[in-house]
Homo-oligomer: A and B are copies of this chain.
Amino acid sequence: MSLIVQKFGGSSVANAERVRNVARIVTDCYREGNQVVVVVSAQGDTTDDLIEKAREINPKASKREMDMLMAAGEQISIALLAMAIETERCPVVSMLGWQAGFTTNSTYGAARIRTVDTARVRSALDNNMIVVVAGFQGLNRHDDITTLGRGGSDTSAVALAAALHADRCQIFTDVEGVYTADPRKIPNAIKLREITYDEMLELATLGAQVLNNRSVEMAKKYNVELEVLSSMKRAPGTVVREVTRMEKMLLRGVTKDADIARISVVGVPDTPGIAFKIFNALAGRQINVDVILQSIGRKGTKDITFTTAKADGEQAVELLSTKIPEIDPERIVIDTGVAKVSVVGAGMETHPGTAAKMFEALYERNINIQMIATSEIKISVIIDAADADKAVEAIHLKFFPES
């Protein structure tokens, strides 16, 4: 008998038909002899409706009341899923975040889980019940409802799996697993059987958008075995865990992130502390910087180029143009027509040929590389956004020749 935590997102429970589908997945797992805890998000349209209702009344509503409002969404979905499981004639009980023991800090809208007291969930499992838990929500020390923010239900599921020492945490999504590239664009993308937490983190950061980073980090920290799989198709997904044996395939995937801006600060004094001042100022505004390139400019100056999320680009330019007189640049240039294409794989660092192979693929398609960044398990290039899809295809083909 295994203890399995299953998580279903908003689209998986979007309507009655899908709720029934989820109930069948859950009860099948239960009938195979497993203890099953299910974490669900709010139905997709419920969330939209609630946001619209709030916006109509008070676009600047306090975050505390927004959390009170939004938490009703999961309350609805757990009750509906429990009702659907009742029709499958399995014993079931739904629990709100606080009933399932989730306590959080008080950052409304983006709370962090403090503790998960599993006593009540344990007791229900001991009574052979399926437990349906509201994801995304908890209670702070003032007994106020909080929500965990983006990707919160994934985090709820992983935290509960960790606290229960579950054998596996299955994250059901609308994709069948983690692929070597976006399967909607690269037809021969390969579904990975296994992947490490670090690889998954790099892929998530790079825009693969399968799993929320926070939940992968938590899974890594507490060594929770994850599985990413489809709620629509019954098939094994991709398992995320610490893999000790070395697999043949070194490269885990090719990803694209077009949601970036490249900012060049041209002609700043070539003196110590300039880079610190720039990036410290950006950090002060919560602007995350990704790839950084520093080059020597003309006449004792230097140029600093970096990328940020596209949404932060204008603010970064304004900040650097006006707020830090010491850097005194000749000019600041922003380019939002760029994309980051990356290859990820844990075996990469011991195989220097990987970078060369990637650059070769780009060269063969005549794609110009603007910036390069490497980490132990990742190589990224910044290129023209118009070339991005072509680049992914070329790199994927180079590493995974058509079979």
Query: Considering the chains assembled together, what is the distance between the CA atoms of A305 and B84 in angstroms?
Result: 46
Q: What number of copies of this chain does the assembly contain?
A: 2
Query: Considering the chains assembled together, what is the distance between the CA atoms of A53 and B75 in angstroms?
Result: 13
In contact, B57 and A83 (Cβ under 8 angstroms): yes
Whether A69 contacts B58 in the complex (CB less than 8 A), given A53-B16, A53-B80, A120-B143, comes out as no
In contact, A75 and B78 (Cβ under 8 angstroms): no
In contact, A79 and B65 (Cβ under 8 angstroms): yes
In contact, A68 and B78 (Cβ under 8 angstroms): yes
Give the residues from 54 to 101 in chain A that come closer than 8 angstroms, CB to CB, to chain B. 54, 56-58, 60-62, 64-66, 68-69, 71-73, 75-76, 78-80, 82-84, 86-87, 93-94, 96, 99
Residues of B within 8 A of A143 (CB): 99, 120
Whether A72 contacts B72 in the complex (CB less than 8 A), given A53-B80, A57-B84, A80-B54, comes out as yes
Query: Considering the chains assembled together, what is the distance between the CA atoms of A58 and B88 in angstroms?
Result: 10
Task: Decide if A256 is an interface residue (CB 8 Å cutoff).
Answer: no
Nearest chain B residue, comparing its CB with the CB of A120:
B143
Residues of B within 8 A of A78 (CB): 68
In contact, A86 and B62 (Cβ under 8 angstroms): yes
SS of A interface (majority): helix
In contact, A61 and B86 (Cβ under 8 angstroms): yes
Residues of B within 8 A of A64 (CB): 93
Residues of B within 8 A of A58 (CB): 83-84, 86-87
